[in-house]
Amino acid sequence: MNVSYVNWYLVELRRRLHDTMPLDQENSFIFETKNHLESLTSDFIAQGMEPSKAEIAAIERFGSPDTVASQCLIGLRSVRERKIIFAAAVALFGFLVLYCLAWIQTSFVGAELGPAIPIIIALALYALLIGRVPSWRWFALPLACTVMFGAVYAKSQTYVRLSPYRYNGQWQNYGELHSHYAQLKSQQAEAANIEHSAAEEWRKNLRDAKDLGAKDKMSIARITYAVPSAAEPVLHDLRRNGYYQFDQLNMTALVSASNNRATFQYMPVRSSLELQGPLTAHDIRKAIEGRLTEVRQRAKQRDRLLGAYEEGLNKSVLDRFGARLEDRLIMYGAFAIPISLLACFLTSRIRNRVRFKPNKLRLA
Amino acid sequence: MGFKGDLEALILAVLADHALHGYEISKRIRTQSQEVLKYGEGQLYPALHKLEQAGFVAAEWMMQDGKPDRKVYSITPTGREELDRHRSAWTKFVSGVGSIFASNAVEEGK
C-alpha cells in the first residue's frame, strides 16, 4: 500500500483539529491543505525533485501539523465561544418559555424532565452549529438535571408549588389544591375507619346482648323487641329494597324505643334521628328514608368534590406522587439521554447536509 | 503606531485585484515580495478563514472538471476598507521608522 507523506500529514492534522471546529470547516480546511500540498509537490517535481522528496519539502514549507493546528485554533476560538454563549442564551430563553407554558398547563411539561428540556435544546443547537454530536460528557447534564429536579420535586414539591394552576375558572396555587385534596382524602379514610369500627362495636353489642343475664333483660327487650314491633315492617321493606343487609338493620335503626318515642342512629356518619309518636310504620319509613337520602347526598357531594379536586390536580401528577422515586428517576433519566442524543444527531445531520461538501476528499 | 496583522493585510492586498485560491495567494505573496517574505504556508488558511468569518473576504467553491474543487477567495467592500486601514497604518509606520533612521543617519554624519 502506498501511503504518501501528504496523506500522513493530513491524517495527523485532522487528528489535531478534531472536535475543535465545525465539521464543515474542518473538511474545508483539510481539503484546501491537501490541494495546497499537492500543488506545491507538483511544482517541486517540475523543478526536478524526486516525488518523495518533493512531498517532504512541501510539508516543510507548509509547517508542522502542530503549528498549523494551533494557528487555526487561535483564529477560531472566539467564534466557538460565541456559539456556546449563544446556545446558553437560547437554553435560558427556552427555560423561560417552558416556565410560562407551565403556568397555562402544567401537564405540558413533565415535572422531572421539564428542566432538562432547555439543556437538550441547547445541546441540539450546539450540534446544529458545529455539525457534530457533542462529547459524551455533555449528556451528563440533562441526566444530572433530571435526577436533581426529580429529587427536589419528590421531596418538597417545590417545582409544583411554583406553578399556579387554573382550576374552577380561577388561578389556584397548585400546592394549596394538593393540600385540600389530601385533607379530603384523609376525611374519607377516617369515615371508612369509623364505619368499620362502628360495625365492629355494634356486632359486639349484639353478641353481648344475647349473652346478657336476667338483670339486663329489660334492655334486651327494648333492643330486640320494642323497636322492631314498630319498625319491623319498615325495616323489612328497606331490606327487601336492598338498602341494608340484615346486620346493618340493627346497627342502623335502633338505639332506644319506649312507648311513642324512638331514636334511630346511623352510625357510619354519626347521624341520629329522633321521632315522637304515635308512630306508624309509614312515619318511620319516611323519616329513615329522608335521613338516608340526606346522608347519601352528603356522601355524593364529598365524592364529587374529591373527583373535582382530582381532575383539577391532574390525576397523572397525583399518580406520580405515589410512584417510587427511583422508578421515576430511572424513567426520566432514561428518557433524557436518548432524547438528547437523537436531537443532537438529527441537528448535526441537518447542518452537514445543508453545507457544501467538496468532492474528492479521500484520505488514506 | 505599529503595523499589526501583517499576513491578513498581505492577503487582502493580493486579493485586491483578483479572486484567487489559497495556493495562488501563497505563490503571489512569495513572488511579489521577491522571496523576501517567507512564512509557514500553513498559516495562510487559518488567516483566510478568519478573514472570511470577519466578512473581509468571500469564498466560493469552484468546480473543476477532472480536478479537485478549489475554494476561491475574493475581497469584499468591507475588506477593501480594512485594506485601506492597513495601508494607512503601514504608511505611518514606515514614515515613523524612516524618520528615526534618517535622524540617526544625520547624527552619525556629523
Q: Which pLDDT tens digit goes with each residue over A328-355?
A: 555 565 666 667 777 777 777 776 665 5
pLDDT value for A92: 67
pLDDT band at A317 (very low <50, low <70, confident <90, very high): very low
Rounded to two decimals, the ipTM of the complex is: 0.83
Q: What is the mean pLDDT of residues A25-29?
A: 83
- Write out pLDDT tens, residues A236-245: 544 454 443 3
* Interchain pair A34, B68: CB under 8 A: yes
Q: What is the Cα–Cα distance from A100 to A116, expressed in whole angstroms?
A: 16
Identify whether the C-beta of residue B14 lies closer than 8 Å to the C-beta of residue B23: no
Task: Please give the residue that has the higher pLDDT: either B88 or A139.
Answer: B88
Is A278 in a helix, a strand, or coil? coil
What proportion of chain A, given as a percentage, has pLDDT over 90? 4
Identify whether the C-beta of residue A19 lies closer than 8 Å to the C-beta of residue A131: no
Chain A positions touching B22 (Cβ under 8 A) are 32, 35-36
Chain A positions touching B25 (Cβ under 8 A) are none
Contact of A261 with chain B, judged by CB distance below 8 Å, is answered with no
CA B51 to chain centroid: 11
pLDDT value for A155: 52
How far does B69 lie from chain A, in Å, by closest CA? 6
* Interchain pair A36, B22: CB under 8 A: yes
pLDDT value for B31: 86
How far does A134 lie from chain B, in Å, by closest CA? 22
- A258: which strand partners? A261
* Interchain pair B22, A74: CB under 8 A: no
How far does B30 lie from chain A, in Å, by closest CA? 12
Confidence (pTM): 0.49
Identify whether the C-beta of residue A65 lies closer than 8 Å to the C-beta of residue A16: yes
* Interchain pair B41, A25: CB under 8 A: no
* Interchain pair B23, A39: CB under 8 A: yes
Angle, in degrees to the nearest 10, between helices B77-109 and B6-15: 120
Q: Is the pLDDT of residue A90 over 60?
A: yes
Q: What is the Cα–Cα distance from A110 to A108, expressed in whole angstroms?
A: 7
How far does B60 lie from chain A, in Å, by closest CA? 10
User: Among A52-61, A66-75, A257-266, A293-302, where is mean pLDDT lowest?
Assistant: A257-266
Is A310 in a helix, a strand, or coil? helix
User: Among A71-80, A91-100, A315-324, where is mean pLDDT lowest?
Assistant: A315-324
Q: Which three cell numbers stand for residue A332?
A: 426520566
CA dihedral A231, A234, A237, A241 (to 10 degrees): -110
Q: How many CB pairs under 8 A join A and B?
A: 72
Beta strands in B1-110 (DSSP E): 20-21, 57-62, 70-75
* Interchain pair B46, A359: CB under 8 A: no
Q: What is the mean pLDDT of residues B31-52?
A: 84
Q: Which three cell numbers stand for residue A286?
A: 319516611
pLDDT value for A324: 43
Nearest to A98 by CA among A154, A155, A145: A145
Contact of A31 with chain B, judged by CB distance below 8 Å, is answered with yes
Contact of A40 with chain B, judged by CB distance below 8 Å, is answered with yes
Beta strands in B5-69 (DSSP E): 20-21, 57-62
Across chain B, mean pLDDT equals: 84
Q: Is the pLDDT of residue A22 over 70?
A: yes
Q: Angle at Cα A29 formed by Cα B75 and Cα B83, nearest 5°?
A: 20
Q: What is the Cα–Cα distance from A332 to A46, expressed in whole angstroms?
A: 65
User: Among A71-75, B18-22, B27-31, where is mean pLDDT lowest?
Assistant: A71-75
Q: Which three cell numbers stand for residue B93?
A: 509606520
Beta strands in chain A (DSSP E): 164-167, 170-173, 256-258, 261-266, 271-276
Q: What is the Cα–Cα distance from A348 to A138, expressed in whole angstroms?
A: 15
CA A349 to chain centroid: 30
Contact of A247 with chain B, judged by CB distance below 8 Å, is answered with no
Cα distance from N-terminal residue to C-terminal residue, chain A: 10
Task: Please give the residue that has the higher pLDDT: either B1 or B61.
Answer: B61
Identify whether the C-beta of residue A249 lies closer than 8 Å to the C-beta of residue A239: yes
| Residues B15-19: contacts with CB under 8 Å, at least 24 apart | B15/B57, B15/B73, B15/B74, B15/B75, B15/B79, B16/B75, B16/B80, B16/B83, B19/B72, B19/B73, B19/B74
> Which residues of B touch chain A, with CB atoms under 8 Å apart?
21-23, 26, 40-47, 49-50, 53, 61, 68-71
